Amino acid sequence: MSTAVSYIIGILAIGFIIFFHELGHCLIAKKNGVLVEEFSIGMGPRIFSFGKGETKYSLKLLPFGGSCQMLGEDGGIPDEETESEAAKYPPERSFQNRPVWGRIAIVAAGAIFNFILAFVCALIIIGTVGVDKPVLVDVMEGYPAEAAGLQAGDQITKINGKPMAFYRDVLIELQFTDPLSDVKVTYLRDGEKHETVIRFQYDEEDQRYYLGIVGSTANRVKVGPLQVLRYGLSEVRYQVGLVFRSLRMLFGGQASINDLSGPVGVVSMINETVQESKSDGLLYVVLNVLNLMALISANLGVVNLLPLPALDGGRLLFLLIEAVRGKPIDRTKEGYVHMAGMVLLLLLMVVVLFNDIRRLF
């Protein structure tokens, strides 16, 4: 599989994630009686478009981004063109004139659809190859886990009170645990629940801290249909947790803006994944791309719900305030807030794009 093909796969994957996000807005808007003027995939000049019913459907030149343009959605800053267009339709078809909880549902639908897409991807992966249960393969001799009585075959169920669905959960949790603190481990052995407290041991040769447990994310076990659903939900929870950990690192100074990746960086990452997976066969290429799509979709869902201007979360914040107050905040002022947020967001996108291109070369 050539590099060009894998880049096309990356572009199509991102395009589908954005399409599904905007589809959420579109379907719930139509369900609430709001006129959807244009549903578009991509940004910039239109390549082609067609009308069906009241809505124009467009494909645009740049394969990143998309929009679901609703009548009256950006009515905070009025202009003659939008007011003229709104006059052609009954007032109740405007987004701004729908009940507040309907508008909340419309705005939240994009992120919710992202979580649904992540869940569907997880179901396909787990249904195909199973799950990496948090079962110990071995315990390192002379390390704290052995001294605490852990054995091969023990299934870790919790670490410091947090549920462990996959062995990958164990790795991530231990990675973010203070190596000088106690680690409370809950595990099952022969169906019986046990608890123990372990401390990391520093290895002078490797200059790392170890508990001494050995597992594998490659040891996958097939599960039944109901467990596929349960583990699918756990997978989405894991992905959402990763996003929040990354955000905490960003705002806590452990990561910087230079570590962020935009569409170009994501496409490059998908290309690398495809190239690394192709020797294992087409099935593993598809599964690894689906895994990345699930993570990216969950990431997009979480980030869009952040209460920041111009994002869906910022709009939701204004709508929730309106629901509590019983009346909206002045829509012109809200419009200016979102406009300022959009300018800052575009600046951030320029910086991230620059970082993505710099990393490529």
- Hey, which residues are catalytic here? 22
Contact of 314 with 338, CB cutoff 8 Å: yes
The CA distance from 254 to 245, in Å, is 11
Contact of 232 with 122, CB cutoff 8 Å: yes
The CA distance from 245 to 239, in Å, is 10
Could you write out the DSSP letters of every residue in 204-260?
TTTTEEE--EE--SS--B---HHHHHHHHHHHHHHHHHHHHHHHHHHHTTSS-GGG-
Task: Give me the amino acid identity at 310.
Answer: A
Could you write out the DSSP letters of every residue in 24-41?
HHHHHHHHTT--EEEEEE
- Which residues lie across from 38 on neighbouring strands? 56, 69
Please, which residues have CB within 8 angstroms of residue 183's CB and are 6 or more apart in sequence?
159, 160, 174, 177, 197, 198, 199, 200, 211
Q: Which residue from 301, 261, 297 is spatially nearest to 122, judged by alpha carbons?
A: 297
Within 10 angstroms of residue 319's Cβ, the number of other Cβ atoms is 22
Q: 189: part of which helix (H) or strand (E)?
A: strand 182-189
Q: 186: part of which helix (H) or strand (E)?
A: strand 182-189
The CA distance from 220 to 87, in Å, is 59
Task: Give me the amino acid identity at 112.
Answer: I
Rg of the chain over CA atoms, in angstroms?
24
